[in-house]
Amino acid sequence: MNSNVHKQLFEEHYRSLCHFAWKLCGDATEAEDLAQDAFISYYNHEDHISTHQGAIKNYLYTSVRYAFLNSKRKERVVEKYWLNSPFNECSHDSLELSIIHSEVIAEVYKIVESMPVGCQVVFKMGYFEGLSNQEISKELNISINTVKTQKQRGLKTIMKKMNPEFLPLALIFYSMFR
């Protein structure tokens, strides 16, 4: 089909397709999108569609209807996903706090990896795994005083190497685990 015929077809059916789509979805912008998508679909498949005006018209209306049904089906899938997802929408402040928390934790892990092996092992067992000083002492076969000393060295290392912008949070971290 040439471009004049395409233009004529568009002008002839666009408004009625928009109205039909609007009756289905109740939204003018979505209705226009559905109508435009029907024409695009037709132009992509016109070699396989009869040139009879009734067939073309039927194809366009059917395309709008199926596009609407597919969009609703997709919305239900997305809605079902979010209902079953552990993620909840959160406020901007909550999101920022989560980002900051993640960055602080990443910084702490990076610093811990730079500690001497003995200090690193005790620190991880005490603060990341939540083991008591006695449990660490027993598992590593070292004295409780050594455990306490290694944990303090670890905290001091974190305080020394922590990115200055995270320092206030590091102080909170330090006060929680003293």
The pLDDT > 90 percentage for the chain reads 23
Cα–chain-centroid distance for residue 151?
36
CA distances to 21, 22, 51, 56, 123 from 36, rounded to whole Å, are 10, 13, 19, 14, 62
**Entry pTM:** 0.45
Tokens for 81, please give them.
């996903």
Kindly state the DSSP code that residue 122 receives in the 8-state scheme. H
Read off the pLDDT of residues 158-177 as tens digits, 9 standing for 90 and up: 888 887 776 676 566 555 54
| CATH number for the domain running over 92-176 | 1.10.10.10
Per domain, the residue ranges of the chain are 3-84, 92-176
Mean predicted lDDT score pLDDT of the chain: 82
Name the class of domain 3-84. Answer: mainly alpha
Q: pLDDT band at residue 119, thresholds of 50, 70 and 90?
A: very high
Q: Tell me the pLDDT tens digit for each residue of 43-72.
A: 888 888 788 888 888 888 988 998 888 888
